[in-house]
Structure 1
């Protein structure tokens, strides 16, 4: 039995046990929607008339009272780790007071339970034993008609939980649905209120959108309804900034970003997808014209600063923030990889995030010129390492310099960096040569221009001061 089959069977077993105990029980919400659309639900929810205390007492499965005041209990598969079913008592909600949760619930009926949900496609129930769909809100007709429609008054649904503004975008993009006109109008009129949602919840929705193959459709819709302009104002400025890229001669900067997102492949990581989304966000603020030509000098560095602000705004983890800003800062670095010095190429190819940087470079190249020659060269270099290992162990350390009699200080880093560069370029082959080179520098105050030990007395470059700086 596959994990998906085990998950489905466990959800069916929960329903069977509740029914044997005399209760009404049905699959509810997103799992029903996914089954109707021919997909495999990632998880299952069960709705029942049993109260949460009774659920925990009658089911012989490990249970977690995740929201018992709201009638919600989660049960775990007794043998397979990671398989859980959320069970909620049929309910209607009291008034929402914080734009997220009702102040209380009233246990009720399937009809009222469906009416409290967000969108008609999420308000369906299913009998897992017969496959019969129970529809109190018109969700089946909307699925067949390709519509995303809020249940009841759209403005009221969005006032209850402002995150639904983003969820509407995600569902419409993921399932390729048109947003029903009244629902669309409510999203546009209330877009500014999304900022009342916590940054962590906004980030969670963006994460779900950006890692999914529909990511570019989701971002296009989010821009169209005004959510991007509210959450990330600098990104909205990319619309209307035309570049004349060979691949999109009539497209603007936003169109380019969407094409890069689309070209990432089916399942990029969130840091890669977010970096691709914002990689050119520095262009509007760095745009200038000289002699009739438009340039965006240092837009990569400007973009990295803006990306870091976005990451802090969303309260992403340090690891994600650092990876995203690094990807944005270096998204052009390998554009002329074949011309890079060997040491610079090896250093960047040795970075932990190089696979994602190459994926971003490839998507950007395909969306700009359609030519991936530079990225292909980097991939070849990584696979074949024509000039030796990409990231060999350093030949010298600070301890080695101290043993040679050098005073610890700021000059250490300069010396070690220079030796490392020579090592990566193959001009210093081993520790003996590196040590003799440092001893030559210490004795003469000059850097050797020829790096092998048997040529240390030949051509030299300008003298340096005691800290390792050229004078």
Structure 2
């Protein structure tokens, strides 16, 4: 059974018991657009205490708000099918800017008025194949307009996350934001700060992994949402790019172009790292008569990216990947001339494909050559994995076996042997141990001597 089929069965069962039951919200919108809904929500005049007699398997996830999760059979892919069944309600005051303090069970018409946007405020009776639209959602959907239901400021006051959700909805469905809705969102943008970091991060994940993400990025700027969400990016609005004598716009404009150049399925870490790849430039900016410099901006940017990830409470895996991409976003620029011992370790990194896409997008947005990206892609395509990442010729156990003790010299020798192996200078353990003996007998480098 499909989720849609189960949602239809739940509506049928409620209606046969004498209740009004309708599909509600986003699933109705998606059905009208010919899309497959992520989930199905059902609105009804049945109250939670009346549901146990109809549905044996359920979770009362929000019974005080009239919401019960009904659990069905396993779906076509083995997953448990679920739908949320909610009683028609009117909401009281939202003192926390997220949930109503009280609810009053009501009618479909009143229930529609509490929802966020007209395109999300429609109902559908799948038994009668009838749309019930009290808010003009269908007309707005056909006109490709995102409009708050009723007073936009009141809707945003009820749940501040709706301000950011407006950006995502407009981005996802290619909608123009109604002027009154846009004005209210912009006026209240700073209030997004009261929303929990986790909820903001979840909206950003959905926004930035959508193919139309660049529209979302521009809307964040237009609605003054960048400053309360990513204040580190505000200096990029005015920081110049190019040369003093031939400016090419601002750093923000460059960032938007790089995001626009991303191709294929883009993960959240890649999209977010692309936005942050030059975040360290404002703090490292210096000007000479003929150029702008941003010395070590990639390292400063890595630290800033880690702090941003912590603030948004991203997962450790997301934080690590984003910071790595920011730090390495220039690393491969000289790949064709890099030593194999420096290039191969990064080519075997789990994030190499994302790094190459960031390099490609950055170069494309700047009108630069893609030779370094093509070079790395050719190596990855033509080089056997065991050649890119061979088993170490010499291990720590091998050094202990010849009488060495772990320490600084121990690590130096292992690194030197590994570099020689990646360069193709040695292949066997015997050759590696011979190199160790030669390095141990050689005089140590003078203090301050640059090391390879």
Q: What's the TM-score once normalised by structure 2's chain length?
A: 0.93
Q: 1:74 aligns with which of 45, 57, 69?
A: 69
Q: Distance in 2 between matches of 1:154 and 1:311?
A: 31
CA contact (8 A) 1:212 1:266 kept: no
Q: Give the drift of 1:381.
A: 0.3
Which residue of structure 2 lines up, in the alignment, with residue 95 of structure 1?
93
Aligned to 2:170: 172
Q: Residue 200 of structure 2 aligns with which residue?
A: 202
Report the alpha carbon displacement of residue 324 of structure 1 after superposing the two structures with TM. 0.4
Contact conserved, 1:395 with 1:431, CA < 8 A, in 2?
A: yes
Q: How big is each residue's C-alpha offset from its partner over 1:90-133, in whole Å with a ceiling of 9 and x where there is no partner?
A: 01111111111111211110011000111111110011133321
Deviation at 1:266, TM superposition (A): 4.5
Determine if the alignment matches structure 1 residue 428 to structure 2 residue 426: yes
Tell me, yes or no, if the aligned pair for 2:284 and 2:297 is still in contact at 8 Å: yes
1:398-413 paired onto structure 2 within 5 Å: 398-413=396-411
Is 1:213 matched with 2:208? no
Alpha-carbon distance change, 241 to 130 in structure 1, aligned in 2, over 3 angstroms = farther
Measured after TM superposition, the shift of residue 241 of structure 1 is 3.1
Structure 1 distance, partners of 2:276, 2:128, is 47
> How far does the alpha carbon of each residue in 1:201-243 deviate from its partner, in whole angstroms, 9 at most, with x for none?
1101111101111211111101111111111112122223342
Matched residues in 1 for 2:385 and 2:334: separation?
18
Is the CA contact 1:213–1:262 (under 8 Å) kept in the aligned structure 2? no
Counterpart of 1:339 in structure 2 is: 337
Q: Give, in whole Å, the separation in 1 of the partners of 2:121 and 2:368.
A: 44
Which of residues 55, 63, 83 in structure 1 aligns to 2:58? 63
Do the aligned residues in 1 keep the contact of 2:74 with 2:80 (CA within 8 Å)? Answer: no
Shift, 1:187, TM fit: 1.1
Secondary structure, aligned partner of 1:16: helix
| 1:411-459, Cα deviation, whole Å (9 max, x unpaired) | 22111111111110011111001111212333x234xxxxxxxxxxxxx
Q: Distance in 1 between matches of 2:233 and 2:371?
A: 29
List per-residue Cα deviations over 1:380-419 (Å, max 9, x = no partner): 1011128961111111222211111112212221111111
- What runs of 5+ residues in structure 2 fail to find an aligned partner? none
CA distance, structure 1, for counterparts of residue 385 and residue 188 of structure 2: 58
Distance 1:249 1:87, change over 3 A: farther
What is the rounded CA distance, in whole Å, between the counterparts of 2:393 and 2:50 in structure 1? 68
Structure 2 distance, partners of 1:212, 1:181, is 24
Matches within 5 A, 1:130-279: 130-244=128-242, 250-279=248-277
Partner of 2:326: 328
2 CA distance for matches of 1:386 and 1:76? 49
Task: Give, in angstroms, the shift of residue 73 of structure 1.
Answer: 1.3
Alpha-carbon distance in structure 1 between the residues aligned to 2:4 and 2:19: 20
Candidates 40, 51, 54, aligned match of 2:36: 40
The separation in 2 between residues aligned to 1:385 and 1:266, in whole angstroms, is 24
Secondary structure of the corresponding residue to residue 92 of structure 1: strand
Structure 1: distance between partners of 2:257 and 2:70: 42
Give SS of 2:392's match. coil
Aligned CA RMSD, in angstroms, stands at 2.2
The alignment partner of 2:4 has SS state of helix
Q: Report the alpha carbon displacement of residue 149 of structure 1 after superposing the two structures with TM.
A: 1.3
Structure 1 residues 53 and 266: alpha-carbon distance in aligned structure 2, compared to 1, 3 A threshold:
farther
Identify the match of residue 297 of structure 2 among 291, 299, 308: 299
Q: Is the 8 A contact 1:338 1:374 kept in 2?
A: yes
CA distance in 1, matches of 2:22, 2:399: 72
Task: Tell me which moved more, 36-45 or 203-212.
Answer: 36-45
Match of 1:7 in 2: 3
- Report the Cα distance in structure 2 between the residues aligned to 1:346 and 1:101, rounded to whole angstroms: 52
Asked whether the equivalents of residues 73 and 80 of structure 2 are also in contact (C-alpha less than 8 Å), the reply is: no
Match of 1:452 in 2: none
| Post-superposition CA distance 1:324-375 (Å, at most 9, x none) | 0000000111112101111111011011211111121122222122532211
Is the 2:242–2:292 Cα contact (8 Å) retained in structure 1? no
* 8 Å contact from structure 1 (residues 97, 103) kept in 2: yes
CA contact (8 A) 1:11 1:44 kept: yes
Distance 1:387 1:126 in 2: 55
Structure 1: tracts of 5 or more residues without a match: 447-462
Cα deviation 1:7-34 (Å, max 9, x = unaligned): 2211111111111111111110011111
Tell me the matched-pair count.
Answer: 445
1:78 partner SS: strand
**Structure 1 residue runs of 4+, over 6 Å off?**
none
2: CA distance between counterparts of 1:368 and 1:374?
A: 14
Aligned ranges 1:348-359 → 2 under 5 Å: 348-359=346-357
Distance 1:143 1:244 in 2: 42
